[in-house]
Amino acid sequence: MNLAFTRAEEAFREEVRDFLADCLTPELHAYAKRMTSVYATREIGMAWQAILVKQGWAAPSWPVEYGGTDWTVAQRYIFDVEMARAGAPPLSPMGIGMCGPALIGHGSQAQKDYYLPRILSGEDFWCQGYSEPHAGSDLAALTMSAVEEGDDFICNGSKIWTTHANEANKMFCLVRTDATGKPQQGITFLLIDMDQPGVTVDPIIMLSGEHIQNAVFFSDVRVPKANVIGRVNDGWTVAKYLLEFERGGSSYGPRLLARVRALRQAAGEEGLLDAGFARKLSLAEAEILALEAAELQQMSVLASGGTPGLKASMMKIRGTELSQHLTELSLELAGVYAAPFQPQHLSPGGPVPASKSHGLSSKVHYVGPESALTVSSKYLNDRAGSIYAGSNEIQRGILSKGQLGL
């Protein structure tokens, strides 16, 4: 693969760097540096999204007519690399990265015209209604019902592990509209307003005290049939399309490379970069570079109008497992300094009520090196990486069946 960039591409890199130097505020950079979750708070995410929207760079993968960039594969890669290098915070993936592609791929023209601008503006903040208490990795086992009544569906049931449902005003949701055939054949992809009667959001507080996840309950919630994306009873098609983007539609490589290189720098600064640890870092970097090469090939497919397909499962497995491996190396480097729990100095993906109730103050200096502050929290948070978006065991099953014919 030829990774030499043209003069025009290098000029684009300088444009991105200049933009980040001017527009990535110290507050946003400081927040991102101490993140412990894969999600930023709504406030941070929307502040950064507004800056990117103003620049026209918030949704590189979208068609130009809906606010996309029409960048080449190389430009999208350069953008990802420079965002990671600069330490920019992530955007919420639910709107731009997930609901947006679902609408672009399967929505009606009216739905695209209405929802896509609202996603970019932040007027609509989305959450994902997939998992249920008994239907997570086996998503086709979902039972939340939607019964036709005139021009509406009446929805009853629940969803769980719903990220930022407490913040969202919209949910894209999978519901059961027919229970008579194969499980996948009776599912419909539905858009639901979160601020209407019958929707109840209960927080799920993590051991760290963070409120990011939620359980959502629906009791006789009325949803217009006009909110169906795709066709009734064919939501499985839309769900698979969306999951491909969730699993493999973006790049793990640039941010993983930034993390492993920051880890090497921290080890050097702390005098802990001995031959054994340096070897572990080099092996991890080599694996990340291999994943990055695969992602570059995949970006070429996407740029030609393709979808991630089965390779999305491979990207998801390798990306999340390498991310977990880096958290383990970070723990090894931090040693005893990984033990203190200092949430007042961290940037979680949601509020941490315990910080205030326990009288913790960010004005008190942290214990240990700054590089160790996020280590234990990121390690624990990243255990979910091999579970969300379909567990890695399920992904291996998809690959063995779809790619190998087993």
Parallel, antiparallel or unpaired: strands 228-229 and 211-224: unpaired
Q: Which residues contact 311 (CB under 8 A, 6 or more apart)?
A: 248, 294, 298, 301
Q: Give the angle subtended at the CA of 209 by the CAs of 351 and 346, to the nearest 5°.
A: 60
pLDDT tens digits for 124-145?
A: 999 999 999 988 777 888 999 9
In tens, the pLDDT along 149-205 reads: 999 999 999 999 999 999 999 999 999 999 998 888 999 999 999 999 999 999 998
Most confident of 61-70, 216-225, 263-272: 216-225
| Residue 353's pLDDT band (cuts 50, 70, 90) | low
Both tokens of 375, joined, read 């280590």
For residue 301, pLDDT beyond 50: yes
CB atoms within 10 A of CB 108: 13
Prediction pTM value = 0.84
Q: What's residue 123's pLDDT?
A: 96
Identify the pLDDT of residue 359: 54
Q: Name the least confident of 134-148, 222-236, 323-337, 392-406.
A: 392-406
Comparison of pLDDT for 403 and 180, the residue scoring more? 180
As a whole number, mean pLDDT of residues 308-316 equals 79
Looking at residue 395, its pLDDT comes to 82
Amino acid at 60: P
DSSP states of 342-354 as a string? -GGGSB-SS--HH
Q: What is the CA radius of gyration of the chain?
A: 22
Q: DSSP letters along 248-302, please?
A: HSS-SHHHHHHHHHHHHHHHHHTT---HHHHHHHHHHHHHHHHHHHHHHHHHHHH
- pLDDT value of position 135: 82
What pLDDT score does 20 carry? 97
Amino acid letter, residue 214: N
Q: What are the tens digits of pLDDT across the range 25-79?
A: 999 999 999 998 888 999 999 999 999 999 999 999 899 999 999 888 788 889 9
Domains of the chain: 7-93 (no CATH), 126-243 (2.40.110.10), 250-402 (1.20.140.10)
Higher-confidence residue of 220 and 403: namely: 220
Predicted pLDDT at 357:
46
d(CA 112, CA 372): 44
What's the chain's average pLDDT?
89
